[in-house]
Amino acid sequence: MNKIYLVTLVCASIFISAQAQAQGGTSTKKQKKQERRDRINKLLKEEEEGALVYAKQNAYGFRFNTDGWTAFYEHGKYKTLTKTNLWWFDFGEHRNHKEDKQTPVDASGFQFGNPYVPFKINNFYFLKLGLGQQLLIGGKGNKNGVAVTGIYGGGITFGYLKPYYLNVQNPTTNQEETIRYSAATDSLYRDFTVVNGSAGFFKGWGHGTVVPGLHAHGALRFDYGRYNQILSALEVGVNAEYYTKDMRILLDIPDKHLFVNAYVAIVFGNRK
């Protein structure tokens, strides 16, 4: 009789314990679901109030620099309501403000050949990899408003000096030649009457020089997109780049290591 009583007591204890665990598990699941709902509701409320709420963003754009142009890709990862970590990839070209493109003209005034830039020695292209942050300054206020963010950061840059080739009619040999600037071709480079135009964009890519350096930039971005999932913005900012050697673009113009420019950019992309 005592054995039967003990077995019954043990079974009852196990059943009660199992029931308690089941109720506890159900309660934990309900609690997690409620926490998830609360978190989603909070994000929806913040979005309705004009906050930029997302996990990550991808941005593409084009900068109109005071000394050239830049095409870029930017990836952002949400950190807090007001802060996003960024990394970016830029490719562009620096030009000297004294560049003046011309088209060759024959004795009768007829234009021929590719346009060219007198006294140009190198095309100066660059590739940048950078890290930075985006800080929310002012939310949209509503879906039709404008969000203002500040962007800053920097990283490494690689400048590429691609030799600039000209097609010329050599008066000594009376043959057309394709030349780049050197001490031996200096007189031909300076005599516009023998120039038949540039040798084209693709000439010289295998004969360039890579020069490493550092860059930094700061900007204000004005996001006017109606929905947070779509990034549509205008950006204004300043770039600075420093290279480890002088970057020569034009003849008789002082070479320099440091390049600073201002820009206006068109930015588009998406958020998730």
The 10s digit of each residue's pLDDT in 134-171 is: 999 987 765 567 889 999 999 999 999 999 999 999 98
Is the same domain home to 112 and 187? Answer: yes
Structural domain count, the chain: 2
> What type of residue sits at position 227?
Y
**8 shares its domain with 73:** no
Whether residue 140 sits in one domain with residue 101? yes
My answer on whether 160 and 74 are in the same domain is yes
**Do the Cβ atoms of 267 and 235 come closer than 8 Å?**
yes
- 148's enclosing H/E stretch is strand 147-163
Range of the domain at 15: 1-48
Cβ pair 39, 81 in contact under 8 A = no
pLDDT tens column, 107-130: 676 778 889 999 999 999 999 999
Q: Kindly indicate the confidence band of residue 183, based on its pLDDT and cuts at 50, 70 and 90.
A: very high
* pLDDT band with cut points at 50, 70 and 90 for residue 228: confident
120 and 167 belong to one structural domain: yes
Q: Are residues 43 and 178 in the same domain?
A: no
Residue 70 and residue 4 share a domain: no
190 and 87 part of one domain = yes
Same domain, 32 and 57: no
pTM score of the predicted model: 0.79
Claim to verify: residue 202 and residue 72 sit in the same structural domain: yes
Q: What contacts 88, CB < 8 A, 6 or more positions away?
A: 72, 73, 74, 75, 128, 129, 130, 132, 153
Query: Is there a single domain that holds both residue 144 and residue 214?
Result: yes
